[in-house]
Amino acid sequence: MAELINIVCQYYKKMNYTQGHVDLIKAPDDLKGLLELRKKLNLTIPIGQLKEIVKELPCTIIDKMTDVQFVQLLMTSGLQGYLLFVGDKKVDTSFAAWCAHKGAAEMREQGETVLEPQIADPRPFYRLARLLSDNDATVMEEIRFAGGQAAAEYFAARREQFMERGIQTMTQLAAFSSGEIWLLGLVDVLIKQHYACELDWKEPIEEFAGMVSQLFVVRTEGLPVNNFGLFEDDDVEIWIERVNQAWRPLDFVLLTIDIDSDSYVLAPARRQFLTDIQEIALEAGIKVSVCG
């Protein structure tokens, strides 16, 4: 029993779980045992039908279950030896997957034909958050919360940020994969904690310099922003290029994170982490660029 409890604890630490079905691989020999088994498994089929089903084992008796639920079933019912869990697929339990699935479900309720959303692995987003925030405890707490079991609460707390990006209903989320939703969530957390900023392509140079100079890493590391050649007539990418030229001897870089909009998300990072950041971004399906 102690070993089973440990298994359950390990499962609960996962951000993803496995969904599958449960096969009966052994059945009681007598009717009384079969009735007790039906009761323990909370099956609603007639006992006569169950007697016919178990004549040829293994047979599937629970179509949809998670690995966590299966271990709990074994612990509470004393069914070890009778059942086998057969995993089908990984299921992301994070807010991003919840949003994507719920958006698609609402579209179907409206009579639309919607494919199952693409569900991304959230782990690269955690690693990016760690590198871009220097493992800031507040950032990581928010990201872990996003990957936990409180998806609805996480979405509700950030409804305003979604609305600012033109996403006002769950139905509008149906057009996004969970990876795209994860990206928006990651960017918003980094902006909130001053590890990134977002500016429009037509922002004036004063706004660009002001927003970048207020970033946490820029202030704590004393990185220069507005004391070298930035010109009003240049565009944002040239300003970023000039910043990176000035920061190169200081081993920092100003990255651009593509969120598929006409705005720029900028995040400073240590140059030593650049290769790791770009490799992880590629794994997550995110485009992270360096100008200059």
Please write the tens of the pLDDT for every residue from 173-205: 777 778 888 888 899 999 999 999 998 878 888
Q: Give the pLDDT band (50/70/90) at residue 14.
A: very low
Q: What is the pLDDT of residue 292?
A: 65
Q: Give the pLDDT band (50/70/90) at residue 218.
A: very high
- Residue 119 contacts residue 92 (beta carbons within 8 Å): yes
Q: Across residues 262-286, what is the average pLDDT?
A: 93
Q: What is the pLDDT of residue 12?
A: 42
Stronger pLDDT, 5 or 213, i.e. the higher one: 213
Percentage of the chain beyond pLDDT 70 is: 88
Q: What is the pLDDT of residue 251?
A: 96
Range 186-222 burial, b when 16+ CB lie within 10 A, else e: bbbbbbeebbbbbbeeebebeebbebbeebbbbeeee
Please write the tens of the pLDDT for every residue from 94-150: 778 778 877 888 888 888 877 777 777 788 898 999 999 999 999 998 887 777 656
- Residue 120 contacts residue 285 (beta carbons within 8 Å): yes
Find where tokens 């969120």 sit: 259
Spatial CA neighbour of 147 closest among 165, 128, 163:
128
Q: Give the pLDDT band (50/70/90) at residue 237.
A: confident
The kind and range of the H/E element at 113 are none
Contacts of residue 32, defined as CB under 8 A and 6 or more positions apart, other chains included, come to none
Please write the tens of the pLDDT for every residue from 42-54: 888 888 888 888 8
> Can you give the C-alpha Rg of the chain in angstroms?
26
Q: What is the pLDDT of residue 3?
A: 53
Does the structure show a pLDDT above 60 at 269? yes
Q: What is the pLDDT of residue 279?
A: 93
Contacts of residue 233, defined as CB under 8 A and 6 or more positions apart, other chains included, come to none
**Phi, psi (5° rounding) for residue 196?**
-155, 165
Question: How high is the mean pLDDT of the chain?
Answer: 82
